[in-house]
Amino acid sequence: MIRFVDELEDGFGWTESERMRRTSHAFGVDARVWLIDPIEGDGVEERIYALGEPAGVIQLIDRHNRDGAALAARLGVPLHVVPGSLPGTPFQFLPVLRGRWWKEVALWWPERRILVCADALGTIPFFRAGDEPAGLHPFLRLKRPLALAGLGVEHLLVGHGEGIHGEPAAAAVQQALRTGRRRFPRWLTGIPRIVRQRY
């Protein structure tokens, strides 16, 4: 079961009710629609076509297969896995991690000040230490993705949880990057709470 979130002038998101709250997004650019790390859900395709004609599916992390390939095939559009660039779009792709077992980029739409992170940042309790509005993935707290710093984000959209909008978005990103490493012990002490909590 999904519900729609992150309603924007140029797009929308949808999230599932399961524990890890996988969240996907769609952006309309010149009547063409780009899907970001999509999952299937009732009403999603209708919302996509209301934005415009599908143009492509973008997978921001190599292990986030989700339903991207199936949706791309059904909609008749290409699947772009961890792209370095996407000519003809307003999107930039910022490096998060490029290792043998984990390749990830973040999508940055400068004109709209929209940052989309797959696993680099999240807003569900699994990612956050204490009262953080958004937290780095635990494995990235010691190797922070500094390419995400100083962007002046107005919309932080994440692959797990609802986004953060307006002035708090930039502050959330900067706080996560600035304090992520030193708050790692606090994240560790919160594991029992995370395990017990249903979110």
Domains of the chain: residue spans and CATH: 2-196 (3.60.15.10)
Q: What is the pLDDT along the chain (199 residues), one digit of tens a residue?
A: 999 999 999 999 999 988 789 999 999 999 999 999 999 999 999 999 999 999 999 999 998 899 999 999 999 999 999 999 999 999 999 999 998 899 999 999 999 999 999 999 999 999 998 889 999 999 999 889 999 999 999 999 999 999 999 999 999 999 999 998 888 777 777 665 655 565 4
pTM given for the model: 0.94
159 CA to centre of own chain: 4
Do 56 and 27 touch, CB atoms closer than 8 A?
Answer: no
Q: For tokens 């992170």, what's the residue?
A: 117
For the chain, how big is the Rg over CA atoms in Å?
16
Across the chain, which distance is largest between two alpha carbons, in Å?
A: 47
Our separate counts of H helices and E strands in the chain read 5, 13
Task: Encode burial over 144-154: b for 16+ CB neighbours within 10 A, e otherwise.
Answer: bbebbeebebb
Beta bridge partners of 3: 15
